[in-house]
Amino acid sequence: MIVVVLSGFALALLAPSLYRLSARWAGCVFSIFPAVLALWFLSHMGEVVGGHGLRFTYPWIPAMGLELSFNLDGLGLLFALAITVVGTLIITYAGSYLHGHPSLPRFYLFILMFMASMLGVVLSDNLIALFVFWELTSVTSYFLIGYDHDKDTARAAALQALIVTGTGGLALMAGVLLMGQIGGSFEISALAADNAAVQGHRLYPLVLALVFAGAFTKSAQVPFHFWLPSAMEAPTPVSAYLHSATMVKAGVYLLARLSPVLGGSDIWLYVVTGFGAATMLVSAYQALYQTDLKKILAYSTVSVLGTLTMLIGLGGKYAIQAAMVFLMAHVLYKAALFLVAGSIDHETGTRDVRQLGGLRKTMPIICAGAAVGALSMAGLPPFFGFVGKEALYEALTHDNVLVTVVGVLTSMLLFAVAWLAGIRPFSGEETHTPKHPHDPPWTMWLGPVFLGCLSVLFGLMPALPEKLLSAAAGSVLGKEVHMHLALWHGFNALLVLSLVTFALGVLVYLNLARLQRVTEFALPVVRRGPSQWYALWLRFLNWSAVGQTRVLQNGYLRLYLATIMTVTAVLAWYTFLAHADAGVIEFNWGDIGVHEWVLGIVALVASIATVRAKTFLRAVVALGVVGYSVALFFVLYGAPDLAMTQFLIETLSLILFVFVFYYMPPFKRFSTRPVIMRHAAIGTAVGALFTLLVLVATSVQWHPTISTYFSANSYLMGQGRNIVNVILVDFRGFDTLGEITVLAVAGIGVYSLIRLRLGKGGDS
Amino acid sequence: MEGLLAIVIGVLYASGVYMLMRRSIVKLIIGLALLAHGASLLVFTAAGLTRAVPPVIPEGAKAITGTVADPLPQALILTAIVISFGVQAFAMVLAYRAYQTVGTDDLDGMKATDT
C-alpha cells in the first residue's frame, strides 16, 4: 500500500519531463495512473466490505515509536475511490481545458502531488503521518490556486487559502501532539479502542478545540468559509477536484475519522452540530446572490460541507449513514457541475449567469451532463441526490425539529441554487457571449457525462453502492452496519418533506430577484463579514510588523546596544535581587597592600579620564595608563606571561592608535545632556552588575578546577615547565591555531583596507 | 583583595559600555579597548587570585608543588588579549578609511550608502 500512496509523488516529480515527450496526450496518459489506482482500490472492495480492512505498517522513526501505518477500511475506501475516480476525470479534462498553457507541466506536477497527499490523508492511521499529508494538501493547494500567478487576484486567493488552512493546520498539529500524549499512541485505531483515556483527560476540551480549528478551516465552515469562494480563482479542474470533491472534505473526513476517539461528548455534539448547521444555512443563502457560476457552486459546496459536519456532529447510526450517502451524492453531482461550469467558461468566455442562456442548442452534451447534475443536486428523483436527501431527512427527523427545519430550509435554497447554476444557462433564449459556443472535445465532456451516468445509475439502483456506504458508516460507528437504500420508500413523512422542499424551492427560484434586492439592502454583514475581518487582520499584521521593525531595527548602533544592555542588566539584577542569597558575597577588603591600592586608584582614575577626555590624544594616553595598570595587576598576581604580552600589545595598539588617528580633530560633542545621563546610567548598571558577578564568582566555587590536570601533566605529557605555554601550544593547540587564523584574517583586512583605493576621493 | 579588583572591573565595564554608545566612531573603538581590559581582568579575578607565584614547574621537579596561580585563565586571557588586538586594529583602519571617505567620525553621518 505504501507504493499506492507514494507512487503519486514519484510520478509527480517525473511529470514535467514526461510532459515534454508528448504534450498533446499528456493529460490522457497521466490520467491512466489514477485510473489504475482506482481499479486497485475496487479490487479490494470485497475484503473491505466484508469487514476485513487492509493494514500495512512500515517502521518510520522506530526510535520515537512512529510508524508509517496505512489502514484501508470502509471510510478510507470511499474517499480513496472518490479521489482516484474524480482524479482520472479531472486530469483528462485538464489536458484540454488548459491546453497550450505555458506552465501546464507544473500543473501536472502539483495535481499529482496533491492526489498522492490526499490519498495519504485518507489512508494514514498514524496521526503524525496524517498531519504531514494534510499539510502537503494545503501546500499543493496553494500552488494550484495560484496557478495563474501573473494575476494578482489568484495570488491573493492562494495566499488567503494558505493562511487560513495553514493556521488551522498549526492548531491541528498541536491537537494531534496533545492527543497522542494523553492517549498514549499516535495510531488512530489504538486511540479509538481506548477513547476513555483521551475523553476523561482534563485537556480534552483543548484537544477538541485544536482539532476543530484544523477541520473547520480546511472544510470551510463559517466563519472560516470565505477562503473557498475566493479560491475559485483557480483553474476550473482544480476547483472541481480540490474545492468540491476532495480537499475541502478532508476536514469532514478528519471529524468522521476521529469521532470514535473524540466524539460522543456534549461539547462535540453542540459545537460540531452548531458550526455545521450555521454553515449549511448561511452559505446556501449566500450562494443565491452570486453571479459567477463558480462562486455559486462554491457557496453551495460550503453548504454541503456544513451539512456533512452537522451530521457527523449529531452522530448515531442514521446521521452517519446519511453523511456517507450525502457525501457520495455530492461528489458525483458537484464535480460534474464544476466541470460543466468550466466547459461553459471555456466555450463562451464568460461565467456570469446573467449573460448565459439558451446553451442547450449549442452545447447539447454538456447540457445533458449539467441537467443530471443539477437535478441530482436539487434532490429530485430518480437521481442519487434524491436518495441522499431522503437519507438526510431520515436522520434529521430522527433527531429533533430544529435540525429538521434547518435541513429543509437549506435543501430549499440549494434547490433554487441548483436551478440557477445547472439549468438556467441552458434554458431560455440564446444570448450573446464573448465566444461562439459549441460542444467541447470528448475529454471535456467525459467527466460530467460519466459522473452523471453514475448519479442516474445509483439513483435507480441504490443497492449498488449500498455495501460500500455501509462499510464506510461502519468504520465511523465502529460496528457493522447494514444500510438499506431505496428510491421509493412509500408515501411517508419523508416524501412529504421532500415535496414541501420542492415547492418552497420553486418559490424561492421564482422570487430570486426580489430576494436578492432584500439581501443587498439588509445583510451586508453576512455578505462580507469574515473576509473583511481577514483583510483587517492582515492589515494589522503588516502594520505592526512595519511598526516594530521601525522601532527595533532603527539603524542606530547605540540604540541597539542600549536595548541589549538595559534588558541584560534588568534581567540579571532582577534575578539576583529576587532569588540570590546576598550572604554568599564576601567583600574581601583584607590584606590589600599600599601598592595595590595605588594601582587600583590609578586604573580607576585613568579609565574615567579616558571617558572624559576632550581630545583624542588625551583619551589614548589615559587608555594606555589603563592598559599598563592591567599589566601590572598581572605581574602582582603571578602571571608574568600575561604581563609581558599585555605590555607589548598595549604599546603596539597605542602606536597604531596614534598613527591612525593623529590628525583627527578634537572630539565633537554630539549628544545632549539627557542622552549622556541615560547612557551613563546604563553603563553604571552594567558595570555594577559585573562587580557583583566578580564578587559572586570569587565567593562561590561550584566545581573543582580543571587546572589540576594541566598542572600535573604539563611536564609529563607536554614536556614543558611553563604550564601556561604548554596549555596554549599543546593541550589547547587548536585554539591557538584558531587565534592565529583570526589574527591573519584581521591582518589581511587591515592590509586590504589600506591598499583599497576608492573611486572617489580615496587616497592612501 | 578581590573587592578592589571587582570595583576596577565594574568601572572598566561601565566606561566601556558608555563609550560604545557614543556617536563618534573613534570613541567606540576606545570603548572596545576598555571592554577588552575589563574582560581580561574579569576572567583573571573570577578564577581566584594568587599572589606572586607563577605557574611554572621548578627545575628538577615533575609537577607543581605548593600553591601557584591558576594557569588556565592565564591561557584564556592570553588568547583574548591577542584577539582583541586584532579586532581593534581592524576596527581602527576601517574607521579611518570611513572617516577619509565620509569626512566625519559621526556614526549618524554614515547611515547613507552614498558618500
| DSSP H helical ranges for chain B | 2-20, 25-46, 71-102
- Which range is least confidently modeled, A104-108, A465-469, A520-524, B14-18? A520-524
Please count the other Cβ atoms lying within 10 Å of the Cβ belonging to residue A296.
Answer: 26
> Which chain A residues are closer than 8 Å to B91 by Cβ?
none
Non-local (6+) Cβ contacts of A309 within 8 A are A215, A216, A219, A221, A251, A252, A255, A272, A275, A276, A279
Contact at 8 Å (CB) between A286 and A301?
Answer: no
pLDDT of residue A522: 61
Contact at 8 Å (CB) between A377 and A338?
Answer: no
Domain boundary among A186, A201, A225: A186
Of B27, B51, B75, the CB nearest to A727: B75
- Which class for A354: exposed (0-12), middle (13-18), buried (19 or more C-beta within 10 A)? exposed
**Are A637 and B99 in contact (CB < 8 Å)?**
no
User: Which DSSP symbol is given to A220?
Assistant: T
The answer to whether residue A294 is domain-embedded is: no
- Tell whether B28 is within 8 A of chain A (Cβ): yes
| DSSP H helical ranges for A44-149 | 45-49, 74-97, 104-123, 127-145
The answer to whether residue A216 is domain-embedded is: no
Closest CA to A74 of A646, A494, A472: A472
Using DSSP, state whether A380 is helix, strand or coil. coil
**Are A727 and B64 in contact (CB < 8 Å)?**
no
- Round to whole Å and give the CA distance between A739 and A750: 16
Contact at 8 Å (CB) between B99 and B25?
Answer: yes
**CA dihedral of residues A227, A229, A234, A235 (deg, nearest 10):** 160
pLDDT of residue A762: 41
Q: Is the pLDDT of residue A664 over 80?
A: no
Residue span of the structural domain in which A176 resides: 1-186
Q: A151 vs chain B: nearest CA distance in angstroms?
A: 35
**What single string gives the DSSP state of each residue in A305-333?**
HHHHHHHHHH-HHHHHHHHHHHHHHHHHH
| Structure confidence by residue, pLDDT tens digits, A292-331 | 999 999 999 999 999 999 999 998 889 999 999 999 999 9
What ipTM goes with this model? 0.93
Contact at 8 Å (CB) between B5 and A633?
Answer: yes
| Structure confidence by residue, pLDDT tens digits, A370-428 | 999 999 999 988 899 999 999 999 999 888 888 999 999 999 999 999 999 988 888 88
> Which chain A residues are closer than 8 Å to B18 by Cβ?
611, 679-680, 682-683
The answer to whether residue A644 is domain-embedded is: yes
Share of chain A above pLDDT 70, in %: 96
| Structure confidence by residue, pLDDT tens digits, B66-82 | 777 788 889 999 999 99
**Are A588 and B2 in contact (CB < 8 Å)?**
yes
The answer to whether residue A199 is domain-embedded is: no
- Round to whole Å and give the CA distance between A673 and A680: 10
Q: A727 vs chain B: nearest CA distance in angstroms?
A: 7
Burial readout A464-474 (b: 16 or more C-beta within 10 A, e: otherwise): ebbbbbbbbbb
What mean pLDDT comes out for the span A263-286? Answer: 91
> Which chain B residues are closer than 8 Å to A660 by Cβ?
92-93, 95-96
pLDDT of residue A746: 92
- Round to whole Å and give the CA distance between A169 and A101: 32
Closest CA to A29 of A112, A103, A102: A112
Of B17, B62, B111, the CB nearest to A683: B17
- Which class for A584: exposed (0-12), middle (13-18), buried (19 or more C-beta within 10 A)? exposed
Q: Is the pLDDT of residue A490 over 80?
A: no
The answer to whether residue A422 is domain-embedded is: no
The terminus-to-terminus CA distance of chain A in angstroms comes to 73
Cis omega before residue A381 (within 30°)? no
Q: How many domains does chain A have?
A: 2
- Round to whole Å and give the CA distance between A371 and A366: 8
The answer to whether residue A18 is domain-embedded is: yes
Cell of A57: 505498517
| Structure confidence by residue, pLDDT tens digits, A591-642 | 778 888 899 999 999 999 999 988 888 899 999 999 999 999 999 888 888 9
- Round to whole Å and give the CA distance between A289 and A420: 10
Domain boundary among A186, A206, A221: A186
User: In this structure, what CATH number is given to the domain that contains residue A651?
Assistant: 1.20.120
Closest CA to A330 of A296, A289, A301: A301
Mutate to test the interface with B, among A662, A690, A763 (most CBs of B within 10 A): A690
The answer to whether residue A572 is domain-embedded is: yes
- Tell whether B111 is within 8 A of chain A (Cβ): yes
Of A556, A641, A667, the CB nearest to B24: A667
Distance of CA B85 to the CA centre of its chain: 8
B115 pLDDT band, cuts 50/70/90, is very low
Mutate to test the interface with B, among A723, A728, A730, A735 (most CBs of B within 10 A): A723
The answer to whether residue A595 is domain-embedded is: yes
| Structure confidence by residue, pLDDT tens digits, A704-741 | 777 778 888 888 887 888 888 888 888 888 989 999 99
**Are A633 and B23 in contact (CB < 8 Å)?**
no
Cell of A11: 510520478
> Which chain B residues are closer than 8 Å to A640 by Cβ?
54
pLDDT of residue B109: 76
| Residue position matching grid coordinates 476532495 | A246
Closest CA to B10 of A612, A608, A688, A573: A688
- Round to whole Å and give the CA distance between A716 and A722: 12
| Structure confidence by residue, pLDDT tens digits, A330-386 | 999 999 999 999 999 888 888 888 888 888 888 889 899 999 999 999 998 889 999
- Tell whether B112 is within 8 A of chain A (Cβ): no
Please count the other Cβ atoms lying within 10 Å of the Cβ belonging to residue A707.
Answer: 22
Count interface pairs A-B at CB distance under 8 A: 295
Contact at 8 Å (CB) between A220 and A242?
Answer: no
Q: Is the pLDDT of residue A584 over 70?
A: no
Residue A124, strand partner residues: A70
> Which chain B residues are closer than 8 Å to A727 by Cβ?
71-72, 75
- Round to whole Å and give the CA distance between A353 and A333: 19
- Round to whole Å and give the CA distance between A370 and A364: 10
Contact at 8 Å (CB) between A603 and A624?
Answer: no
Domain boundary among A135, A160, A186: A186
Structural domains in chain B, CATH included, are 2-51+69-110 (1.10.287.3510)
Closest CA to A258 of A165, A200, A331, A172: A172
